[in-house]
């Protein structure tokens, strides 16, 4: 059997880590690079295709229309361009360079030949693969940075044919991946699988209220369109300078205000509605406060919120407020009707999202305390850190054992912080909290051990963990999952988790919220 050069593989992984750090300010590009390299090292090259990437990396439903949504192709083109620019510039002398060939989602690692003369790249390390990426059409790049995207199919087929000759390397790579303790072995200890989405009659609809212009692509690759389907009201810019509890402040930069309504066309089915608000006019030093703006929201003629006060709902001004309503269906005319009626001051809204839903249950909420999304071994997508106030993200942690998904523990939120996770207030929920002690311990950078980090965790005033010591329960760098059932939301539809330090800082790596309705 041919041996595997583990030192070379480790060098390749280090090159990926360096690029991920460099691309950290471009979360979609970093997320795509992380995903395709994870699959490469795992030998799962058959999963590197447009549909799989769109679903697992960018959160598209399995039956999304590729002819209308080219997110995977557009982001692959951006990644390909970023790699080219980096290696033609400051990275030109690096011993390993990563290439994404045109027409393919399979990364190629090029190694320099070691010559003392002008550096020259060796032939690409071949892989077994088929043409996975269609060329991006010109109109598919609207809303993306200006670029010329052309079809290079013939050259792509030639490259991939050459790669196919050496397909056995992929299997050896997979063997090495399984047999070494390295962070690329991503999998999740939880056995909870996301329930199948029953209603997928219409694709997700995401509207930026009061906004006109190119589509906005969120951190999960979700496409938010300019304002549409509205009647009345007027668009205005938000006076917002800072928005708490959101990882995408762009959603709150514009508003629709006045007396207005929306009539959103939908095919028959069950949907989940998300409404996004922020109060940037009243409160604290802005003047006024609670009771300065209240309004009525109706859904298909029935009252959804009466006396709705954003400041009271969000617990302050300049804080993103998201409300979730499950079991939503279009009215008899095939449209979802939302009306916003003044009571005191003018109604406002920042964004509207309509998702294919699950009858009588909210879609799972999965958050990882990282700047980019993460897909676990069950294919479940974990969103970038969101809904928090306080604390700080701390990255560059050592590998965590006791889990099939060590990448879930790549970074943590530490400090004195809260999470306000929006849910439908009619149900109760299970929360799975993911911990690991990666700093304290005899062999850790912080030294110490038992008693070095102690904190409390509560939810909506109910103590979940008191004087909690991760190291005492799990030791250092070992995954620990704590599950809590029957959690009741606030009247404002929030699960408010408080992480209060007792000794040193509180810490969390991921949060999962599951609807308990049957």
Residue 145 lies in a domain: yes
Residue 186 lies in a domain: no
Contact 41, 100 (CB under 8 A): no
pLDDT of residue 25: 73
Pair 108, 42 in one domain: yes
pLDDT > 90 fraction of the chain, expressed in percent and rounded: 54
pLDDT of residue 314: 96
CA distances from 179 to 42, 175, 476 (A): 11, 6, 22
pLDDT of residue 296: 98
Residue 196 lies in a domain: no
Looking at 289, 321, 356, which one is the last position of a domain? 356
Question: Which structural domain range is residue 424 located in?
Answer: 365-515
Pair 438, 498 in one domain: yes
CA distances from 11 to 136, 192, 317, 436 (A): 32, 35, 48, 27
Residue 233 and residue 227: Cα distance in Å, rounded? 12
> What six digits make up the tokens of 386?
């969101």
3-state secondary structure of 235: strand
Q: Give the CATH number for residue 259.
A: 2.60.120.430
Q: Tokens 């990364």 sit at which residue?
A: 107
pLDDT of residue 176: 34
> What six digits make up the tokens of 167?
């397909």
Pair 424, 471 in one domain: yes
Residue 395 lies in a domain: yes
Contact 429, 487 (CB under 8 A): yes
Residue 193 lies in a domain: no
pLDDT of residue 469: 98
Pair 104, 41 in one domain: yes
Pair 169, 122 in one domain: yes
Residue 243 and residue 247: Cα distance in Å, rounded? 9
> What six digits make up the tokens of 442?
């005899």
pTM higher than 0.75, yes or no? no
Pair 56, 75 in one domain: yes
pLDDT of residue 396: 67
Pair 113, 172 in one domain: yes
Pair 148, 238 in one domain: no
Looking at 356, 391, 414, which one is the last position of a domain? 356
| Nearest CA among 175, 177, 174, 233 for reference residue 209 | 233
Residue 445 and residue 438: Cα distance in Å, rounded? 9
Pair 256, 164 in one domain: no
H-helix segments, 119-234: 153-164, 168-179
Pair 462, 384 in one domain: yes
Q: Angle at CA 292, nearest 5°, toward 287 and 298?
A: 145
| Nearest CA among 446, 425, 426, 497 for reference residue 468 | 497
Residue 325 and residue 354: Cα distance in Å, rounded? 10
- Return phi, psi of residue 133, to 5°: -120, 125
Contact 298, 331 (CB under 8 A): no
pLDDT, tens digit (0-9, with 9 covering 90-100), for 215-254: 998 888 889 999 999 999 999 998 666 789 999 999 999 9
pLDDT of residue 118: 34
Q: How many domains does the chain have?
A: 3
- Identify the DSSP state of 384: P
Residue 385 lies in a domain: yes
CA atoms lying within 13 Å on the CB side of residue 405: 24
| Nearest CA among 447, 464, 453 for reference residue 498 | 464
Q: Tokens 């906005």 sit at which residue?
A: 216
Residue 270 lies in a domain: yes
Pair 350, 370 in one domain: no
Pair 428, 489 in one domain: yes
Residue 389 and residue 318: Cα distance in Å, rounded? 12
Residue 199 lies in a domain: no
Looking at 356, 382, 398, which one is the last position of a domain? 356
Where the chain has pLDDT below 70, the residues are 1-7, 112-201, 239-241, 396
């Amino acid at each position: 059997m041919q041996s595997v050069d583990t030192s070379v593989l480790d060098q390749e992984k280090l090159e990926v880590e360096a690029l991920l750090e460099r691309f950290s300010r471009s979360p979609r590009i970093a997320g795509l690079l992380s995903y395709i390299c994870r699959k490469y090292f795992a030998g799962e090259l058959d999963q590197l295709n447009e549909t799989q990437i769109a679903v697992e990396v960018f959160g598209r439903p399995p039956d999304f229309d590729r002819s209308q949504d080219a997110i995977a192709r557009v982001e692959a083109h951006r990644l390909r361009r970023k790699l080219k620019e980096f290696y033609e510039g400051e990275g030109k002398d690096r011993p390993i360079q990563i290439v994404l060939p045109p027409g393919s989602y399979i990364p190629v690692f090029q190694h320099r030949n070691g010559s003392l003369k002008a550096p020259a790249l060796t032939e690409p390390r071949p892989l077994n693969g088929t043409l996975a990426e269609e060329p991006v059409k010109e109109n598919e790049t609207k809303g993306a940075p200006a670029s010329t995207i052309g079809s290079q199919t013939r050259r792509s087929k030639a490259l991939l044919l050459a790669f196919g000759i050496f397909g056995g390397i992929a299997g050896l790579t997979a063997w090495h991946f399984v047999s070494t303790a390295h962070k690329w072995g991503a999998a999740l200890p939880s056995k909870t699988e996301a329930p199948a989405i029953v209603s997928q009659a219409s694709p997700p609809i995401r509207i930026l209220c009061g906004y006109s212009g190119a589509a906005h692509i969120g951190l999960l690759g979700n496409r938010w369109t300019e304002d549409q389907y509205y009647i009345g009201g007027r668009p205005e810019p938000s006076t917002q300078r800072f928005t708490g509890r959101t990882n995408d402040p762009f959603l709150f930069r514009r508003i629709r205000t006045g007396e207005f309504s929306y009539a959103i066309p939908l095919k028959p089915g069950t949907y989940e509605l998300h409404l996004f608000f922020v109060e940037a006019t009243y409160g604290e030093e802005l003047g006024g406060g609670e009771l300065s703006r209240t309004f009525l929201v109706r859904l298909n003629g029935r009252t959804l919120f009466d006396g709705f006060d954003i400041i009271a709902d969000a617990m302050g001004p300049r804080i993103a407020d998201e409300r979730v309503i499950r079991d939503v269906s279009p009215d008899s005319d095939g449209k979802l009707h939302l009306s916003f009626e003044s009571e005191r001051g003018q109604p406002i809204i920042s964004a509207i999202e309509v998702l294919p839903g699950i009858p009588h249950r909210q879609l799972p909420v999965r958050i990882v305390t990282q700047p980019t999304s993460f897909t676990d071994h069950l294919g479940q997508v974990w969103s970038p850190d969101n809904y928090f106030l306080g604390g700080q993200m701390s990255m560059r942690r050592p590998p965590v054992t006791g889990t099939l998904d060590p990448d879930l523990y790549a970074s943590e939120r530490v400090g004195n912080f809260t999470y306000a996770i929006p849910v439908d207030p009619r149900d109760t929920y299970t929360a799975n909290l993911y911990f690991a002690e990666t700093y304290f311990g005899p062999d850790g950078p912080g030294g110490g051990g038992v008693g070095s980090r102690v904190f409390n965790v509560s939810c909506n005033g109910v103590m979940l963990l008191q004087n909690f010591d991760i190291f005492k329960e799990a030791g250092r760098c070992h995954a620990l999952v704590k599950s809590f059932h029957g959690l009741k939301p606030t009247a404002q539809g929030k699960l408010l988790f408080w992480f209060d330090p007792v000794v040193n800082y509180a810490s969390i790596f991921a949060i999962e919220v599951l609807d308990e309705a049957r």
